[in-house]
């Protein structure tokens, strides 16, 4: 056995401290891997959506007569009735599964429910609510018609997208700015421009030739698709899509910013950020909301959610019995804002300057490769959980390294096995689910593209994840060596005890 001041006690103490330190570092760097990986995948998705989006050429007003009754809003998902042309103004993210508990004094507690757990006997299970598309805005429900060509297709079509200081060809006309670089869209003179002006107001604007009106409850949506000329007082931005947000739109899509307190089971609460920023990446030219998003209108949360059936939906659940107070979370004085967005700017010269021809499918591959799936997250949770269990078991059994009477401690043996499984599992999980080394083979060489800056942020996060994977794996291997050394040290003390 180890004597009071023997070398094996000093070595054993040192290894135990190092073991705990490595375990903490593994947790820290593993979390950074997921954080960076999730960001890179959502940026890839946002860029992909940007390239695939098609400018809107026309809106068609849909009939709302069948939801005239005060408290009946049966329409939750308009896609079924309107098909692919349905206009989605935004989305309510819904809620997560949870457990509710009421005390004798009438107070309640609500907690989110992990996927592998269940509520206790004195708790009530609260079912989640799936996200709900916001298909009605202030009494307006519309479907859309597009020009039939995506932003990326237009980029690759000669003469369709030109820079702000260029003129369209003689057989084409300018329809206005299509992206955040103020690139202009040129289309054939015999075709109609996509919608390049939109305003929601009580009265029709007098300074613009309105070509279509969508009628709402009080305000109307006024549209124009007139050709653009340099003499126009208005700044025509071609419409790509809508978004409803809580005052501010986040630069990175997976962050959520809110003025207001959220319910404990609100699906957004886990994405909540007090500022729309990333570590070191505050809103900059790449994500300039003033260039990409143009605020159209404001609406009370209650009114918007009521006309989209969300109020009625929540009323049919147990949530209202466990803290979901409409007067608190959906008050009429709480506002949401409707934005119209244009496209992220991509300079056509960037296509020519690239060593490898850019294909939007690359973004599909990046999104798929670097999305952190729930399955892999769960596997990582269990792998790290096994490591924690092994550390606790080792700590409990550690004194026996110096005090045992020559008997093998099964608890230490269990900890050793757990640590082997946990270390190997975590090593496999980080390496297998996050193969970032070859992710950024084809960097943008063009400096005058907004999407170039965004892509570089994504690439930076990808490279950060790759670096953190390597560091994490080094710590896992070192952790494994420490456990193995402690196990061998334990066996030596037993052998010495037997020899005596």
Q: Burial of 475 by CB count in 10 Å (0-12 exposed, 13-18 middle, 19+ buried)?
A: buried
Average pLDDT over residues 245-263: 68
Continuous H helices in 337-449: 349-353, 361-370, 374-397, 400-403, 410-433
Integer Cα distance of 297 and 113 in angstroms: 36
pLDDT per residue as tens digits for the range 297-342 = 999 999 999 999 999 899 999 999 898 988 888 888 888 999 898 8
Q: Which of 469, 483, 498, 341 is nearest to 423 (CA)?
A: 483
Tokens of 216: 């709402």
Nearest 5°: CA angle at 403, between 397 and 406? 90
pLDDT of residue 472: 77
Confidence label for 213 from pLDDT (cuts 50, 70 and 90): very high
pLDDT per residue as tens digits for the range 15-65 = 777 777 777 777 777 777 767 766 777 777 778 888 888 999 999 888 775
The torsion of the CA quartet 19, 20, 21, 27, rounded to 10 degrees, works out to 110
With 70 as the cut, is the pLDDT of residue 231 above it? no
With 70 as the cut, is the pLDDT of residue 218 above it? yes
pLDDT per residue as tens digits for the range 435-490 = 544 444 444 455 566 776 777 777 777 777 777 777 877 877 887 777 777 777 77
pLDDT of residue 407: 59
pLDDT per residue as tens digits for the range 72-120 = 444 444 434 434 467 888 888 899 999 999 888 878 889 988 877 889 9
pLDDT of residue 384: 62
pLDDT of residue 281: 43
With 70 as the cut, is the pLDDT of residue 355 above it? no
Domain boundaries, the chain: 7-48+365-499, 55-94+129-342
Confidence label for 433 from pLDDT (cuts 50, 70 and 90): low
* 34 CB-near residues (< 8 Å, 6+ apart): 372, 377, 380
* 247 CB-near residues (< 8 Å, 6+ apart): 257, 259, 335, 337
CB 433 within 8 A of CB 376: yes
Strand partners, 112: 98
Residue with tokens 């291997």: 477
CB 345 within 8 A of CB 444: no
With 90 as the cut, is the pLDDT of residue 198 above it? yes
Percent of the chain with pLDDT over 90: 19
CB 107 within 8 A of CB 323: no
CB 98 within 8 A of CB 126: yes
Average pLDDT, the chain: 75
CB 423 within 8 A of CB 469: no
CB 179 within 8 A of CB 285: no
- Phi/psi region, residue 343 (left: phi>0; alpha: psi -120 to 50; beta: rest), is beta
């Amino acid at each position: 056995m180890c004597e009071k001041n023997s070398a094996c006690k000093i070595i054993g103490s040192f290894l135990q401290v190092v073991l705990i330190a490595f375990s903490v570092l593994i947790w820290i760097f593993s979390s950074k891997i997921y954080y960076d990986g999730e960001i890179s995948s959502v940026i890839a998705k946002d860029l992909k959506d940007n390239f695939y989006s098609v400018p809107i050429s026309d809106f068609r007003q849909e009939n709302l007569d069948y939801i005239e009754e005060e408290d009946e809003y049966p329409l939750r998902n308009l896609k079924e009735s309107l098909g692919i042309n349905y206009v989605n103004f935004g989305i309510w993210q819904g809620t997560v599964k949870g457990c509710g508990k009421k005390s004798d004094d009438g107070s309640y507690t609500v907690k989110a429910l992990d996927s592998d757990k269940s509520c206790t006997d004195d708790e009530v299970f609260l079912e989640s609510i799936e996200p709900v598309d916001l298909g009605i805005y202030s009494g307006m429900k519309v479907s859309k018609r597009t020009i039939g060509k995506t932003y990326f297709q237009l980029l690759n079509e000669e003469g369709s997208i030109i820079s702000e200081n260029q003129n369209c060809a003689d057989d084409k006309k300018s329809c206005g700015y299509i992206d955040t670089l103020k690139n202009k869209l040129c289309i054939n003179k015999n075709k109609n421009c996509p919608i390049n002006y939109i305003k929601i107001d009580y009265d029709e604007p007098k300074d613009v030739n309105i070509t279509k009106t969508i009628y709402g409850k009080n305000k109307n949506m006024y549209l124009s698709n007139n050709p653009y000329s340099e003499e126009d007082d208005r700044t025509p931005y071609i419409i790509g899509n809508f978004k409803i947000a809580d005052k501010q739109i986040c630069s990175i899509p997976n962050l959520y910013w809110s003025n207001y307190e959220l319910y404990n089971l609100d699906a957004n609460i886990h994405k909540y950020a007090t500022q729309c920023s990333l570590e070191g990446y505050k809103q900059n030219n790449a994500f300039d909301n003033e260039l990409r998003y143009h605020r159209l209108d404001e609406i009370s949360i209650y009114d918007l959610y009521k006309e989209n059936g969300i109020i009625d939906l929540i009323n049919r659940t147990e949530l209202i019995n466990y803290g979901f107070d409409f007067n608190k979370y959906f008050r009429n004085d709480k506002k949401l804002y409707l934005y119209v967005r244009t496209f992220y700017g991509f300079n056509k010269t960037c296509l020519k300057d690239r060593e490898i021809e850019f294909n939007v499918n690359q973004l599909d591959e990046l999104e798929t490769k670097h999305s952190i799936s729930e399955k892999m997250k769960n596997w990582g949770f269990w792998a790290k959980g096994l490591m924690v269990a092994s550390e606790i078991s080792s700590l409990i059994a550690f004194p026996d390294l110096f005090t045992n009477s020559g008997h093998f401690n099964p608890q230490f043996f269990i900890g050793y096995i757990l640590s082997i499984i946990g270390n190997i599992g975590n090593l496999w999980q980080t390496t297998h689910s996050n193969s970032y080394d070859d992710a950024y083979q084809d960097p943008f060489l063009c400096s005058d593209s907004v999407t170039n800056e965004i892509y570089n942020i994504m690439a930076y996060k990808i490279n950060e994840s790759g670096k953190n994977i390597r560091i994490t794996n080094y710590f896992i291997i070192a952790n494994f060596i420490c456990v193995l050394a402690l196990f061998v040290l334990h066996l030596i003390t037993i052998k010495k005890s037997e020899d005596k």
